[in-house]
Structure 1
Amino acid sequence: MKRKKNDCYPKKTATRRKPQRNTLYLPSASREELDKIALEIGYRRGRRISSSGVVQYLIKKYSSQAIEELINEDDEDDDDFDD
């Protein structure tokens, strides 16, 4: 039986694939604040954390609370996050 040219490479399984990445656009001021937060966390815990790591943590930890607050807030306050 003859081997195919690419048989020496293992096939990618679902666990070996890279996670899908997306781009999130933030206003410059928000991005700067996020970078400062990540830097402060990294400094105080002695281990680096990326800005996206901070965002992922906030989503996992506080998304339910944010949903409730954003649904129940006054319409006048909506302009704060539309940048």
Structure 2
Amino acid sequence: MTATRKKTATRRKPQRNTLYLPSASREELDKIALEIGYRRGRRISSSGVVQYLIKKYSSQAIEELINEDDEDDDDFDD
């Protein structure tokens, strides 16, 4: 009897995506990540902060961005 080997599931690396952030926003994001890392004693990446914010606050952001005045959203159209 011939033994057959089970194929091990190969994991794909997650695809990287590029997101444009103005320099000032990127600097603010880096400061936030640094502050969080310092205060909790464990490093967090800038992308980790963004992922957390999306996961935790996306519904709130959707509602606020839909319901705000058109004059107020000029900061986010870049």
Question: What is the aligned-residue identity percentage?
Answer: 100
Tell me the SS of whatever aligns to 1:60: helix
Alpha carbons of 1:44 and 1:71: their partners in 2 closer, same or farther (altered >3 Å)?
same
1:19 Cα deviation after fit: 0.8
1:61 Cα deviation after fit: 0.2
Unaligned runs of 5+ in 2: 1-5
The one of the two structures with greater contact order (alpha-carbon pairs below 8 A, sep at least 6) is: 1
- What RMSD over aligned residues (CA atoms) do the two structures have, in Å? 2.0
1:82 Cα deviation after fit: 2.1
Measured in 2, the distance between the counterparts of 1:21 and 1:54 equals 16
Give the TM-score normalised by the residue count of structure 1: 0.80
Give the TM-score normalised by the residue count of structure 2: 0.85
Instruction: Count residues with an aligned counterpart.
Output: 73
Unaligned runs of 5+ in 1: 1-10
Measured in 2, the distance between the counterparts of 1:50 and 1:78 equals 27
Aligned position for 1:47? 42
Alpha carbons of 1:78 and 1:50: their partners in 2 closer, same or farther (altered >3 Å)?
same
